[in-house]
């Protein structure tokens, strides 16, 4: 049985989404990506995939709106947030920024020095967004769906679907076989991706391996954002080993005529370039851009200037954090940022209280608006007494 979440008018998640819609603050990427996993599952199963009857697949359209619903406590689930394709597209665009364009379509792809610096800056913003809020906090395409993003997102989905198959069939359940589990899920995910493009053979040459490479390095970006700087864990082998294993499968498929063309050159370029970027970004001293810190500094400036239009925009952005963001990440990021800002802005909390008063009036008509004000006080801007009782500038939790 397959279960897919749906929202009703009174559902708390839907109420929160209406808060953004009523203020014109719902990001365009959300509308373009909401429901992508459900749609892909429907298309895939209609073409012959026969999932086990005991499997329940549940899709959560956004991150952080509560537990997934629809399956029993022991039902395996696939949760694919709407922002996954947005982050994957951003990683691809970062790599594209680094490419030196010669004007000759037949020339081999090369990276420029200026492009590398720009790409690292963009990847730093991506890492900061994942770490600080869990949602995109950078300029990007309103519609993230280019062909490589589609291939990478589909590979993510099919990799997880393979894990559910393993669980239902009791494959690779021992701790020492977890790496085998990951390699096998990658292989089946690759097979599923290639089969899904069987009616578009012209796309296989670039997408067969480039999509998986992009999705696996997105997972590496998430690892860095989580502060895990050790490549390879007890559950996941190093990404380079996984890509090498997939590359061998592609070589066999190409040699046997199962795939026309040669997907390796483009995928190798992706893998080598992103691998080098990840090595730089995971170094201890590389600066990760904090979008939350930038926002809070701009907010303090706008409060001082009394720019009402700007404060409306800032309030809408905080509404996005409230509705779409990971509240624990927002809490930790605001605490880190306010600790640094308070050293230079001694009237910081007086200014923030002025903003909360502004937000109360601005959001008075919003459904659930009181929850948002509580979010501002307890998650984003903190209770001043709790902060000061912990010691000014202290970076621990108040």
**Whole-number pLDDT of residue 212:** 94
**Whole-number pLDDT of residue 31:** 86
Quote the pTM value. Answer: 0.84
pLDDT per residue of the chain (398 residues) written in tens, 0 to 9? 222 333 333 456 777 888 888 888 889 999 888 878 777 766 665 544 444 333 333 333 332 222 333 344 455 566 778 889 999 999 999 999 999 877 666 777 888 999 999 999 999 999 999 999 999 999 888 899 998 998 898 898 888 888 777 765 555 556 567 788 889 899 988 988 888 777 677 677 778 899 999 999 999 999 899 887 665 566 788 899 999 999 999 998 888 877 777 888 889 999 999 999 999 998 878 999 999 999 999 999 999 998 888 999 999 999 999 989 999 999 999 988 887 888 788 888 889 989 999 988 888 777 666 788 888 888 887 766 666 665 544 444 33
The CA distance from 262 to 121, in Å, is 32
Domain assignments of the chain as residue spans, ordered by start? 1-82, 83-281, 291-389
**Whole-number pLDDT of residue 368:** 65
Name residue, tokens 């995928």. Answer: 267
The CA distance from 18 to 308, in Å, is 23
The CA distance from 134 to 327, in Å, is 9
255-289 CB burial, b ≥16 within 10 A, e <16:
eeeebeeebbebbebbbebbeebbeebbeeeeebb
Q: Considering only CA atoms, which of 146, 151, 129 is closest in space to residue 138?
A: 129
**Whole-number pLDDT of residue 298:** 94
The CA distance from 245 to 239, in Å, is 10
Residue 116 to residues 98, 99, 100, 219, 346, Cα–Cα distance (Å): 5, 8, 10, 20, 39
The sign one gets for the Cα dihedral 116, 117, 118, 119 is positive
Q: Which 8-state DSSP code applies to residue 110?
A: E
For 316, residues 6+ apart whose C-beta sits below 8 A from its C-beta are: 20, 23, 24, 25
**Distance between first and last Cα of the chain:** 46
């Amino acid at each position: 049985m397959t279960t897919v979440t749906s929202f009703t008018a009174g559902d708390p998640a839907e109420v929160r989404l209406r808060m953004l819609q009523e203020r014109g603050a719902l990001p365009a990427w959300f509308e373009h990506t909401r429901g992508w996993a459900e749609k892909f599952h429907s298309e895939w199963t209609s073409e012959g995939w026969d999932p086990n009857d005991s499997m329940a697949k549940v899709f959560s359209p956004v991150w952080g709106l509560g537990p997934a619903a629809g399956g029993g406590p022991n039902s395996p689930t696939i949760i694919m947030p709407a922002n996954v394709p947005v982050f994957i597209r951003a990683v691809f665009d970062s790599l594209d920024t680094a490419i030196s364009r010669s004007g000759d379509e037949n020339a081999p792809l090369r990276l420029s020095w200026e492009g590398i610096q720009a790409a690292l800056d963009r990847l730093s913003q991506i890492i900061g967004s994942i770490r600080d809020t869990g949602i995109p906090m950078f300029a990007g395409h309103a519609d993230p769906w280019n062909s490589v993003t589609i291939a990478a997102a589909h590979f993510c989905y099919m990799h997880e679907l393979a894990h559910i198959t393993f669980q239902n069939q009791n494959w690779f359940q021992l701790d020492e076989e977890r790496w085998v589990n990951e390699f096998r899920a990658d292989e089946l995910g690759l097979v599923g991706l290639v089969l899904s493009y069987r009616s578009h053979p012209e796309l296989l040459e670039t997408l067969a391996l480039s999509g998986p490479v992009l999705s696996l390095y997105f997972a590496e970006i998430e690892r860095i954002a989580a502060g895990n700087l050790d490549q390879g864990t007890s559950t996941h082998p190093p990404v380079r080993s996984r890509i090498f294993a997939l590359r061998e499968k592609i070589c066999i498929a190409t040699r046997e005529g199962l795939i026309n063309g040669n997907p390796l050159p483009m995928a190798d370029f992706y893998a080598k370039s992103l691998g080098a970027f990840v090595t730089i970004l995971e170094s201890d001293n590389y600066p990760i851009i904090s979008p939350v810190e930038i926002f809070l500094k701009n907010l303090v400036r706008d409060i001082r200037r009394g720019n009402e239009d700007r404060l409306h925009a800032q309030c809408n952005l905080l509404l996005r954090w409230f509705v779409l963001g990971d509240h624990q990440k927002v809490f930790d990021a605001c605490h880190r940022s306010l600790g640094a800002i308070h050293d230079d802005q001694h009237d910081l909390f007086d200014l923030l209280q002025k903003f909360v008063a502004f937000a109360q009036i601005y959001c008075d008509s919003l459904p659930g608006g009181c929850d948002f004000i509580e979010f501002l006080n307890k998650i984003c801007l903190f209770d001043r007494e709790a902060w000061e009782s912990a010691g000014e500038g202290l970076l621990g939790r108040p």
